[in-house]
Copies of this chain bind each other. A is one copy, B any other.
């Protein structure tokens, strides 16, 4: 091959996914035991190599589709991790992505098939290579996004109660929130629509179910939580 850049060296490029889920009141990350050498058996994020015929973003989508069977996940880049020795085997640069999934949509058989576990942030074990650092940076970025753009709904079912939404924000911010102030702010955002439906699973009285109306949001509403 007589390419333009042949005097320069190439690297392996991988993607690693920080998969966030929310369950009841805890923010969780999906991790598994590494299936290949080096590092076989260590706790690790799920990842894969970027192929020559796909963009880096596409590689992350492909890897996530393999894992979850889901195609339209909310996914954002955390950044490139490129220390020389970050991978004990070879020179591999990795681009980390964080992903939001609604845990209820995720087929638990797939989780078991890949031997993955949902772990609370507070219980995060030591992970392979620099994956703990990736998780920390992903957290920083997702916290900012969550308070700044209407993406929380990707971690919840299509219909959710305000208590669920509040619990999610409490988990993300790591602090308790005032119920009345929280609801006041939600009420100001018309794109968080109250439906006629009632959820009776969480209480005897039942709580109204809400949904996110993207069309209304796109009409130029402001988000802040």
Contacts and interface: CB of A to CB of B under 8 A. Distances in A.
Interface of A: 3-5, 8-13, 36-38, 49-57, 59, 77, 79-84, 89-93, 95
A89 B1 CA distance: 12
Given A10-B12, A11-B13, A50-B11, A5 B92 contact: yes
Number of identical protomers: 2
Interface class of chain A by DSSP: loop
B10 A5 contact: no
Contacts of A38: 4
Contacts of A90: 3-5
A57 B82 CA distance: 7
Contacts of A95: 80, 82
Contacts of A4: 36-38, 89-90
A53 B79 CA distance: 20
Nearest to A11: B13
Contacts of A81: 56
A77 B59 CA distance: 21
Nearest to A3: B90
Give 9 nearest A-B pairs by CB, closest first. Answer: A56-B82, A10-B10, A4-B89, A8-B49, A80-B80, A9-B52, A80-B95, A55-B83, A3-B90
A84 B92 CA distance: 18
13 contacts: A3-B89, A3-B90, A4-B37, A4-B38, A9-B52, A10-B10, A10-B12, A11-B11, A13-B82, A54-B84, A56-B82, A77-B80, A82-B95
A10 B8 contact: no
A72 B71 CA distance: 43
Contacts of A37: 4
